[in-house]
Structure 1
Amino acid sequence: MDFPELATRTRTFSAGAPRAVTVSADGDRVVFLRSAGTQDPVDQLWVYDVPARAERLVFDPAGPVGIDGYATDPAGRIAAFTVAGRLFTADLRAREVTGHPTAGPARDPRPDPTGGKVGYLTDGTLRIRDLDAGGEDVLLAGEAGSNGVAWGGAEWMATREFGRDRGYWWSPDGRYVLAARVDTSRVPKITMFDPADPQAPARAQSLPLAGEANAQVTLHLLDLDGGWVDVHWDRETYPYLVSVSWTEAGGPLITVLRRLQQHGLVLAIDPRTGETQVHAELADPRWVSPVPGTPCHLPDGRVLIGGELAHDGYDARCLFADGTLLTPPALYVRRVCGRIPALTGGLDRPEFDLLVEASDTDPAEQHLFRVSAHAGSAGIDAQRLTTAPGWHTGAVGGDTVVVGTRSLDHAGIRWAVYLAGDRCGELRSHAAAPPTAPRPALERITDRRLPAAVLYPRAHVAGRRLPVLLDVDGAPGGQQVVADRAAWVVRQWWADAGFAVVVVDNRGTPGVAPSFEKVVHRRVADVVLADQVDGVQALAEKHPDLDLDRLAVRGWEFGGWLAALAVLRRPDMFGCGVAGTPIVDWHLAPTAYAERYLGLPADAADVYAHHGLLESAAEPPVRPGDARPLLILTDLADAAVLPAHALRLSAALLHAGRPHAVLPVTGAPRPMSLPAELDFVRRHLA
């Protein structure tokens, strides 16, 4: 089996590895999904019993469709999930699974905090089912015959751009549900169809494009007995609902942002009236970046908020509790995992600390930190818990902490279970090991200290000059230079095909500092392309085997846009390029994404024109040799990056007489296009 097929069958060597790991509140159970083998796509529900130090299978779908995800009650006693639209709940202590009838294909089921009910979504409605024998299925919210209105779900923009993948939240006592109502009737409709299946009907999909209308999102407090309270905030000024939190420590908290995302509010909701009160303001002249896991109420009543600290000499991504700084400025906070028992307590100190994912000295690594929730006279306290180099993630409940570790030293992710600081077990992985063990050389380059890496063929002999492949992503949020072997497996395949593979994290990518990320505001194209060019030249000075006279560039989505931009605007540097599903016209990019970095099209027409590819593509080259070949890959059924991007780019290139090829990849897993990409680069770089 060749590498592209092997990577496809193994889900890029992730099938069989534990995922979606959570820990019960008492720390006795670690819940996770895992398939049975290296090429098995059907995920099963598992529990690691911490007191017994043993894994136990909870549910095997025993069919072609597995479990996509699950949700538990806060105590971790009940799990709810769906298989092919069928609703199931599992008693995680007894490992008993029950199927439930539903009004239609169910999705996003969530148990209530008492474990007696479960909510689920079907056909735009939010329903509640009593889990007692003979329990009823009650319609909590829905609008019969509504056009474009759905209850309880997260709109497309919230999921894609803000990481909010849910639209309803139980109250801590299980008596109320805070639910979102999403109205997409004003959002522009696009028509999508699958050319590979001409008998399948076309479908209309709401897609908010730059400058156009977004979905209208409102929040409502629904009493299970039929009461109804609307939540009030200035939705015209703050249309984006970014996050919602409702725990036993306090009432509901929401984060809302202005359309251009330069200002936001953390609002506390009064559950009795639906009125909101401003708890904190978030502001940045570029854009606001809330920290995942915040805001939330802490057990002592304070509110935890994450954000940037960019004054008085600080350039940091930090945590605050009611305005008090909790993390040192050298720590780049990425996510709050949860609370763990404090090492020290007392009358003047909280009895808990925070488990936080963050980077300190090296942006290529992520570690787990114990952060004191009390910043007193002793100062800020953040203790690093993970010591081995790599990329660490965490889950916590009670005294149990589960640590997932990725590294350059081993394949896949390894999950270790710790109880009160002592290792007590692990979550086994059945994932296949990749056929290679890449060892990229990670370093920092140029006066901007850009993270970068070079990867050589395994059989490379020093002194032999190699053609160079610049593998780009470059997107804000798209950090690539990481101490994780999985990030380099496909790149090692390219290297073993005879290339020195180069990766540069330009300004705009996360992990270094807020100023490093946000300098791209309104000038993404110039900053990103300049950093990529400067980065590859700096690496060539340090690595004499890099032959920049034979330089290709490759990327997907934002990286596809960047690859095409490089070929069109720097033909003196790049010999050819591969642009996978590229963004070509930023007017066709989603609202929150395009407007965050470029502004509103009506106010920034020149910015959008400068960042688009069509004007450059339509200009005939001054000399025939300046037209560098470009391979464009497009999924003709993709609603995220519309095929219109690739087709418009091809039309402009064709009109200008620029050499290019278009490869449809509809329905094909991404690794399957690798041979075609390699063949194109080899032919045009020689």
Structure 2
Amino acid sequence: MTDSFPRLQARTRRFTLGVPRGFTISPQGDRVIFLRTKSGIDPVTCLWEFDIATGTERLLVDPLALGAADEDLPPEERARRERSRESAGGVVGYSTDRQVRAAVFALSGELHLVDLSSGAVRRLETPGPVIDPRLDPTGTKVAYVTGGALRVQDLATGTDTALATPEHDEVSYGLAEFVAAEEMDRMRGYWWSPSGDRLLVARVDDSPVGLWHIADPANPDRPAVPQRYPAAGTANAEVSLFVIGLDGSRVAVPYEQEYLVTAIWDAHGPAIVTLSRDQRTMRLLSVDPATGTTESLREDTDPAWLDIVAGVPARLSDGTLVWVADAEGGRRLIIGSTPATPPSLQVRAVLDVDGDTVLFQASGEPTEINLWTCSGGTISPVTMEPGVYGGRRAGGVTVVTGQSLETEGTSVSVIRPDGSRMADSIRSMAERPSLDPRVSLVRAGSRELSTAILFPSWHVPGSGRLPVLMDPYGGPHAQRVLAARRMFLEPQWWAEQGFAVIVADGRGTPGRGPAFEREIRHDFTLSLEDQVDALQGVAAQHADDLDLSRVAIRGWSFGGYLAALAVLRRPDVFHAAVAGAPVTDWRLYDTCYTERYLGHPDEGHYEASSLLADAEKLDRPLLLVHGLADDNVVAAHTLRLSSALLAAGRPHTVLPLSGVTHMTPQEVVAENLLLLQLDFLKKSLGL
């Protein structure tokens, strides 16, 4: 029997299993190392090699062959995977030496080394469970974190040395603190020197951070899990930096600003990026590893906030700085001090620097993300067809990943140094969905918002009005409307249930320039205005196909907040809502995200965007869904709104998910959650 779409989507982790990822290209340009599960329903990630000359793949590491069928992860690794939204298991990360001759990885907390030539794997003895192992560039030593201590093992002798040991239980060395991993995409806390004799190491002291407890009411015999959570307006972790030598030397690297954004250590020395607490000033500092003194290389300011762009700082072979900054209305690639891209091209990320060639992502059209190179001050497109593209580059070789609306799944191509392309060279093993999205991308409403419209496959235009389902994320820093087929698989399933589905990206979402993103400042409720604007715009284009007397809205995380906000403040437009893991009181969300957009709570911008005071306004059906193990948007958000609704005498429904985090990766939960939402919305709209 063929699996239903909800079951297949759950089994395939939203069709991400079997998709190649985590590419590393050898500096000679002859091999590509990558991660992939063996099939689209296999959750165990393996390590593979692709030989560019022969076009053949080779399995390097199969966790099942190493006896790692059931993973027993240390708590720190579980937290890392939650922060990175990693839903698969097995080898989910690895590190190589400079020449890509060997790699290290952790399985069930055990450290393993693989010779990439022979494929031989050996387990290395460690005194505790291993977190984030990284080979030094020379390939002779491996560093890792265990029990909050940073340790280094000599691969030739097996000597294992603690370089930095925590002074008390709230201190760790070499790991990223909560807000760095959750909001700044910094998943690491140490960086090797090119010669492998020293490391730049972050020390995190969580003791100033408020102590919360994540309980499991379904299992009252289990103690609540303590968590340091930096709620808006409260103290962050104290993060300090040191250059630590293998000889035991330690040099402090002082810096003034609140946040350590990222660091690099290349042939031109170490450098760090720091950000002020109000996120309006960002500094790039060089570091003298001998003395720890810093020198300012660049300072950027913005009256609203500065966005963190992945992949920078970077440097060309001669040390010229590669940066991304806002100028003349655009997010631009900066080489040295000169903008290399026009204001109309919005740079998304720098992916690699290969000698003097920079590979980067950028958008001309907000729904598309293309690949470009910059060399000698000249930019050139690598991809030109509509879609969403990523990639890596080294040794003159470029690996290109691509998704589009016309093609299914993710394709991976290799471009050789001579420009010849090996199309679909690295196979995707992802499952084929049981439906085909019928999506139209339009500009809708007075603000010409990027909007996707999906109708049932059986719907004939003008044959009858369908109930409407708005399905947004809608918040800053994330997009739902992209020219990629996979983005619209679940919306199409909803359409097949009899809805006209609308997905709209409002103000605050990326791809349309800094000014558009900053319109959300100090007022998240603008995102609701934009959903109404998009709905009205689509209705004007499809007047005979939409039943505006039956409009529902659903969403998760910020989308959940937006769904609850919609029925509380615009019941004239929205007739039912499903709010999954919603932020209901922004004082309960973390410092870095919330203060970026709303400022410090003392500035007075929180109440207007919070939901609790609106509880008495509810007169539409509302289903609140929340994982009780969620350590990002904690269940207190839903429970406090539910209490306020009860106090106001407003009927509503709460669906608690025992043992479920913010990701809802569990197969049965993910499948039935869709079906329960469908049942709720159909009953609420009288369908």
Same fold by TM-score greater than 0.5: yes
2:630 corresponds to 1:638? yes
Matched residue SS, 2:332: strand
**Pairwise CA distance, 1:294:** 0.6
- Aligned residue identity for 1:140: L
- Tell me the alpha carbon deviations over residues 99-146 of structure 1, each in whole angstroms, 9 at most, x when there is no partner: 1001101010000010000001101000001111x42111011125x1
Residues 1:392 and 2:389 aligned together: yes
**C-alpha distance in structure 2 between counterparts of 1:405 and 1:64, whole Å:** 32
Aligned residue type for 2:630: D
Aligned to 2:529: 530
Alignment correspondent of 2:367? 364
Task: Report the counterpart of residue 293 of structure 1 in structure 2.
Answer: 311
User: AA paired with 1:243?
Assistant: T
Native 8 Å contact 1:508 1:519 kept in 2: yes
Structure 2 partner of 1:141: 164
CA contact (8 A) 2:18 2:430 kept: yes
RMSD: 1.3
Is 1:290–1:306's contact at 8 Å kept on the other side of the alignment? Answer: no
1:20 to 22, 26, 33: 22
2:209 counterpart residue number: 187
Local SS of the residue matching 1:472: coil
Q: Does 1:382 align with 2:379?
A: yes
* Aligned structure 1 segments of 4 or more residues deviating by more than 6 angstroms: none
Q: Given the alignment of the two structures, is residue 493 of structure 1 paired with residue 493 of structure 2, yes or no?
A: yes
CA–CA separation in structure 1 for the residues paired with 2:185 and 2:370? 21
- 1:647 corresponds, among 624, 639, 645, to 639
* Residue of structure 2 in register with 1:280 after alignment: 298
Q: How does 1:82-481 map to 2 (within 5 A)?
A: 82-132=106-156, 134-143=157-166, 146-234=168-256, 238-248=257-267, 250-309=268-327, 314-340=328-354, 352-360=356-364, 362-372=365-375, 374-375=376-377, 381-420=378-417, 421-424=419-422, 426-463=425-462, 464-481=464-481
Q: Is the 8 A contact 1:581 1:641 kept in 2?
A: yes
| In structure 2, distance between residues paired with 1:185 and 1:25 | 43
Structure 2 contact 36–46 (Cα < 8 Å) conserved: yes
Tell whether the 8 Å contact from 2:589 to 2:633 is kept in structure 1 after alignment.
yes
Alignment of 1:526-605 (within 5 A): 527-544=526-543, 545-604=545-604
> Residue in 2 aligned with 1:347?
none
Partner of 2:675: 675
Segments of 5+ residues of structure 1 without an aligned counterpart are 342-351, 376-380
For the 8 Å contact 1:290–1:307, the answer to whether it is kept is no
User: 2:446·2:537 contact (CA, 8 Å) conserved in 1?
Assistant: no
SS at 1:680 equivalent: helix
Once the two structures are aligned, what percentage of the paired residues are identical? 45
Amino acid at match of 2:410: I
Deviation for aligned residue 1:657: 2.1
1:581-640 alpha-carbon deviations (Å, 9 max, x no partner)? 100011100000111111111222xx11111100011x2x4xxxx701100001111111
Shift of 1:363: 1.0
Q: Secondary structure at the match of 1:524?
A: coil
Q: Deviation of residue 64 (structure 1)? A: 3.5
Contact 1:8–1:672 at 8 Å: present in 2 too? Answer: no
Structure 2 SS opposite 1:427: coil
SS in 1 for 2:278: coil
**C-alpha separation in 1, matches of 2:24 and 2:138:** 18
Amino acid in the other structure paired with 1:594: T
Distance 2:623 2:288 in 1: 55
- For residue 295 of structure 2, what is the amino acid of its counterpart? Q
> Which letter does structure 1 place at the counterpart of 2:476?
P
Shift of 1:68: 2.0
Amino acid at match of 1:148: E
Letter in 1 for 2:368: E
Structure 1 residues 58-77: aligned runs within 5 Å: 58-62=60-64, 63-65=69-71, 66-77=90-101
Q: CA deviation at 1:18?
A: 1.1
Look up the equivalent residue of 1:382 and give its one-letter code.
I
Write out aligned runs for 1:601-620 (5 A): 601-604=601-604, 607-617=605-615, 619=616
Q: Which amino acid aligns with 1:384?
A: P
Cα offset, 1:297, TM superposition: 2.4
TM-score by length of 2: 0.93
- Partner secondary structure for residue 357 of structure 1: strand
State the shift of 1:198 in Å. Answer: 2.8
Among 657, 665, 668, the residue aligned to 2:649: 657
- Alpha-carbon contact 2:520-2:527 (below 8 Å) kept: yes
| Matched letter for residue 166 of structure 2 | E
Count of aligned pairs between the two proteins:
650
Q: Is the 2:202–2:242 contact (alpha carbons within 8 Å) kept by the matching residues of 1? A: yes
TM-superposed deviation, 1:387: 2.3
Deviation at residue 364 of structure 1 after TM alignment: 0.8
Q: 1:36 matched to which residue of 2? A: 38
Match among 8, 23, 27 for residue 6 of structure 1: 8
Following TM superposition, by how much is the alpha carbon of 1:212 offset from its aligned partner in structure 2, in angstroms?
A: 0.5
Secondary structure of the residue that 2:63 maps to in structure 1?
A: coil
Contact 1:28 1:51 (8 Å CA) reproduced: yes
Letter in 2 for 1:143: P
State the Cα deviation string for residues 2-45 of structure 1 (Å, max 9, x = none): 22221111111221221212212222221111111221101110
**Cα deviations by residue, 1:76-98 (Å, 9 ceiling, x for unpaired):** 22211011001011121232222
Q: Is the 8 A contact 1:117 1:130 kept in 2?
A: yes
| Paired residue type of 1:113 | P
| 1:629–1:658 CA contact under 8 A, matched in 2 | no
Contact 1:628 1:658 in 2 (8 A): no
Letter in 1 for 2:161: V
Tell me the TM-score normalized by structure 1. 0.93
